[in-house]
Chain A
Amino acid sequence: MKKIILYALAALALNSTAYADVIKVGVVGPFSGPFALQGKNFKAGIDAYMALNGKKVGSDTIEIIYRDIPTADPAQSKALAQELIVKEKVKYLAGFYFTPDAMAATPILKQGNVPMVIMNAATSAIMKTSPLVVRTSFTTWQTSTPIAKVAFDAGVKKVISVVSDYGPGIDAENAFKAGFTKAGGEVVESIRIPLATNDFSPIMQRIKDSGAQGVFAFLPSGPTTLGFVKAYNDNGLKTAGIKFFAPGDLTQESDLPALGDAALGIQTTFHYAVSHDSPENKTFVDAAAKAIGNKAELSFPAVGAYDGMHVIYKMIEATGGKQDAEKAVEAVKGLSWTSPRGPVSIDPESRHITQNIYLREVAKGTDGTYINKETKTFEKQGDPGLAATK
């Protein structure tokens, strides 16, 4: 009899360990190299979420496995995703800073039975490549469309668009053009400049010569944006009254100290500002600043990662820790919650995040640091990009 009880207990013990699994989440992002800061923000967002919500969903423990991909490298991204699925046996893939990296990994999701939660990559088309993709960041279309209305309402009827010649830049150009012509304005010229541009003075001259009343710009953040904004001031465009409009990628918080006074007054539209005023955001910023070590380095990828973790936790809850990609994705369709950036939901059709887009202006905060001050809200914006490319 004793023996039987012992066996039963042993069986029970084995059984329960089988349920209390370690669920691995593979995160692919730029953790070294020129974009390491963005990867650092991914990690800060994830760490913040796990610090606030615990490392366990039910009885399962969540383990994050990071894989580094310094620059956009589709082949490497696919290899890493494969390795994570096959060798590390991850049940969820997440992260992905660059669109090509995300695109390269989507074809293996179905076979691997793994959903992917995109925490940054911002091209509309990614969602079409696999039904197992969910995105918690934004698209360039989503953030660039409202600024067209802002520009038109500010009395600017003629705009010149200047974008860096790469995917997101072209997306931004198209989104702005579509929004602005719809509002009744005219885009007098569209200039695409190479990514490796150091000297923007000739472009500024071009903008002046075009006779536009405003300029819409999209460039990668960092040195390029800094050079562009400096040239905009130095060449007298600001004093000439030519207005500057851009999506918020340009004025991300980590670049603001370097941009300094040169950026004051620049209007951008974006889904998240670190200075966003809400209790949820305060909790998030405190936790994420602790995770990243220096609050000045915190910017938008952190909130994408934070909400990405929320979606993954919900997926794990819905599937009870079992590997079922379809059920997991199905469970979060229509999911809505209050994110640090405001109320958000997952659009059931596109599986992309529906969120508020804010109009912000670079301003000096009360403590002397530069912030993106939110001045207006465009509520519940979906992604106009998918419809436009159909």
Chain B
Amino acid sequence: MQTVFSIAIDALAYGMVLFVISIGLSVTMGLMRVVNLAHGAFAMIGGYIASYVARDLGMGYAAAVIAAVVITIVIAIPIERLLYRRIYGQPELTQVLMTIGITFCIIGIANYVMGPTLKTIPLAGPLQGSADLGFRAISIHRLFAIICGLVVALGLWLVIEKTSFGVKLRASVDNAAMAAALGVRTEFVYAVSFAVAVGLAAFGGVVGAELLPVEPYYALRYMVTFLVVVSVGGAGSIPGALIACLVLGAIDTTGRYLMPEFGEFFFYLAVIAIICVFPRGFAGRVT
């Protein structure tokens, strides 16, 4: 029984970290219809900035998180204006080529500027160490990641479903020309959602850095996992992504505990099975 609880806790923590990083990608792919393979690269930029601020400047974890999100968005804005704007509404292949190109450029720059070694983000005092749950110890940082995931999920859901900006966003996605005719500034809406998605990527990169350490190949190393989460959850759906992360986290963690030698077999088996039953993911919309 203890083991079951233990696995459940690990699964929840891992799933939430996945969620925080992947949800930004779900937004770009589902709402903006851009296959953004550079998502991991933005998460990595966030991680690097946080590491620089917290470790080299010694400014504390909270400052590092804020700086990472803000600066990554500032870096992303010109990229959106100059590059991404050209690929909105283009065929997927064009988008894939463009964004993978951006990814390789960012990897090269990161390698040149920050060096090839691992970078860590020193945690704030209260987040260090482990908490005793009675039957096992878990690092406090993981509990923090779980809370972050829940807050992000709730916040995004409220913005998209309950605010006027959310209405405009959904309108622009469904029919950009009609939305524009009705007075919605679609370019502005797209720019803001792109910034939010990038900000979430950066945030995820920082919060998830304990599990997925920051190094130049971060941008590619974990991209497949992020894409899997989005496709299993259904692009653009926040509840879908949340369910996908929890299910995949549970399967991955259980498989790893019981039969580590099978590797990611169960993870991908589950992905195949889910996609067979739900071709658009758990909560994908018919387009």
Instruction: List residues of chain A with CB under 8 Å of any chain B CB.
Output: 33-34, 36-37, 40, 165, 191-194, 196-199, 201-203, 205-206, 208-209, 222-223, 226-227, 230, 234-236, 239, 254-255, 257-258, 260, 294, 296-297
Contacts and interface: CB of A to CB of B under 8 A. Distances in A.
Q: Which of B115, B130, B212, B221 has the most CB of A within 10 A?
A: B115
A166 to B, nearest CB: 11
Nearest to B222: A198
A36 B130 contact: no
B14 A199 contact: yes
A189 to B, nearest CB: 10
A258 B115 CA distance: 13
B261 A222 contact: no
Contacts of B264: 194, 196
Contact of A202 (B139, B225, B253): B253
B116 A37 contact: yes
Sort A-B residue pairs by CB-CB distance and give the 4 closest, nearest first: A194-B263, A236-B137, A234-B139, A258-B118
Nearest to A221: B118
Contacts, number: 104
A296 B260 CA distance: 34
B120 interface: yes
B256 A203 contact: yes
Nearest to A195: B263
A387 B215 CA distance: 39
B144 interface: no
Given A201-B10, A201-B14, A257 B257 contact: no
A203 B116 contact: no
Contact of B13 (A196, A201, A226, A255): A201
Interface residues of B, number: 39
Given A194-B263, A258-B119, A36 B111 contact: yes
B10 A205 contact: yes
Contacts of B142: 234
Interface string B3-35: 100110010011000000000000000000000
Contacts of B212: 198, 223
A40 B10 contact: no
18 contacts: A34-B216, A194-B264, A197-B256, A199-B211, A199-B252, A201-B13, A202-B7, A202-B254, A202-B256, A205-B136, A208-B136, A223-B213, A234-B130, A234-B139, A234-B142, A236-B130, A254-B117, A255-B118
